[in-house]
Chain A
Amino acid sequence: MAQPATHSLPCSAGIGLRAPHYREVLDGLSKIGWVEVHSENFFGGGAPLRTLLKVREHYPVSLHGVGMGLASTTPIDQMHLSALHRLCDAVQPAAVSEHLCWNSAAGLVINDLLPFPYTQEALSHVATRIEQVQEILGRQLLVENLASYLAFPHSEMTEGEFLSELVSRTGCGILFDVENLYVNVRNLDADAEAFIKAIPAGAVEEFHLAGYSERGGCLVDTHDSPVHPEVWELYEYALQHIGPRPTLIEWDSDIPALPVLMGEAANAQNRLEKYHARAA
């Protein structure tokens, strides 16, 4: 079982830091609780790593991977894992996360976050791989629930039950993406209340919030717009049942000016403070 991260994220609102905002954030004009970056953009040295190390001097950093493919049926890419390990050593992040998805099977790699059936077989498989990752990194991994556009009828449990089992088998934490859950509610009739009841509140280390778009009646996890009102509502519900946690605003496409992102973070911060006050 992995030990929880010793330097955890502050229980405040953070932003997903992307290239257009590096300069502005480093100039120190921004009052940001913490930042999260995509791990793969900082594999190697040079300018990316130097930039991240400078950011790290001012803000707690969370490393969020998009390429590990925890449920893939091809072996874990050891080069990828060792690059992540080196990055963790250099940056000493406050959190490290990956998605509950696959990206590689039968010799094909699909650079996306893909759903899979929640079966006992998949559970053992994913748990073994999370243990491998935690063993190499020497720390706890947070696993994020997925936005899905289709479901598999032969799933033997819900995503919430699957995550809960992963926590008890591996000691991993949960990154609860509220927008992903909302997308699944709308696309696949997922039961949001049941999801929140199924996951152990104590294992939730972080929330994600983002905007979605719609194609042909299907909500797509595009991170290209403000957080929708229904997602804020579900976030408030999650805060009530799980409690306040570090909360990230993700915006990856059509990235707005930094003040817009900060405004979204302030909206999350206000809600966090409301629940902090209630808990006090």
Chain B
Amino acid sequence: MPVLHDDLSDFADSIVLGLGLSSKVQPFCPKYPVETALDVYRNNYFGNLHDALAYAYPVIEQLVGKDFFRCLTKQYIARHPSASGNLHHYGAEMADFIAGFEPAQGVVYLPDIAVLEWACHRAYFADDGPTLDVGRLLKIHPENYVGLVLHVHPSSHLVRSSYPITAIWNGHQPGANCDFHINLDSGPTNALVSRTNNAIIVSELGEADATWLQIIRSGVSLGEATATVLECHPEFDLLAALVNLVARGILIDFTLENTQ
């Protein structure tokens, strides 16, 4: 008779939901009340998830302060239980949660900072990718360039925001100059997350380059992506964009359309 599942489910509910144990499961503590033991497990549960969020969202914690952050994580944890044994996977829904979190409404750029921090967190733990094989690229006949489908590094992410999130993020990194001015009306930002020499870098990308990269990321061929961008951004410089994105390890590989 499979009773293990019932025992663990009951125990899990008691830890996550703070419920009492059902009469079927009666654990035993000879030295202190069972509730003391359950409280230790409940504290561990909250503490481990809180620490995982603080690790993934250090800029959010700095922006709102430790006490506010603790209140935020408490409610986040109640709403979003963990779904992975790997704590580094915890916290993916933070941006949406903050967007709906009434006490944080005054800080308009906070959800976008959360998107950026989650992108950085994922970038840190992303798999490695190759470096673009330029020799192989040179063997492609120029008339076939339009059919190139470019692949991006698994650590690279693009976060587009109406606020200067790149400046805010960089201003809150360890060792950053605290004496900086943020103008919230400075216009949209395209924050590009990359992993260069194994360090997580957040830099800005121009509007045309960002639009092009976003299309490329969706698997569209070089020719089609470039034509689409040139319609809205006639100033788009394809060669400069390619040089920049290859140098930063963002474009790592390619296939030829129709020959994949």
Residues of A within 8 A of B (CB): 40-41, 43-50, 67-69, 71-73, 77, 80, 83, 102-106, 108-112, 114, 116-117, 119, 121-122, 125, 149-154, 186-189, 215-218, 220
Contacts and interface: CB of A to CB of B under 8 A. Distances in A.
Q: Determine chain A's interface SS by DSSP, over half rule.
A: mixed
Given A105-B5, A116-B4, A46 B126 contact: yes
B12 A216 contact: no
A121 B127 CA distance: 38
Given A215-B40, A218-B36, A67 B87 contact: yes
Interface stretch (B42-50, B178-186, B221-229): B42-50
A81 to B, nearest CB: 10
A216 B40 CA distance: 10
Interface stretch (B27-35, B65-73, B102-110, B206-214): B27-35
A108 B31 contact: no
Contacts of A119: 3-4
A216 B148 CA distance: 65
Contacts of A112: 15, 41, 44-45, 48
Given A46-B198, A111-B48, A217-B31, A77 B84 contact: yes
Given A40-B85, A80-B86, A153-B26, 9 more contacts: A40-B88, A46-B126, A73-B4, A102-B8, A106-B5, A111-B82, A112-B48, A149-B41, A188-B29
Interface of B: 1-5, 7-9, 11-13, 15-16, 25-32, 34, 36-41, 44-45, 48-49, 52, 81-88, 90, 123-129, 155, 195, 198-199
B3 A46 contact: no
Contacts of B4: 71, 73, 116-117, 119, 121-122, 125
B154 to A, nearest CB: 8
Contact of A218 (B31, B129, B198): B31
Nearest to A73: B5
Nearest to A109: B82
Contacts of A40: 85-88
A87 to B, nearest CB: 11
A69 B48 contact: no
A129 to B, nearest CB: 12
A116 B12 contact: no
18 contacts: A45-B129, A46-B126, A47-B198, A108-B81, A109-B85, A110-B12, A112-B45, A119-B3, A121-B2, A149-B36, A149-B37, A150-B34, A153-B28, A187-B29, A188-B31, A217-B32, A218-B31, A218-B37
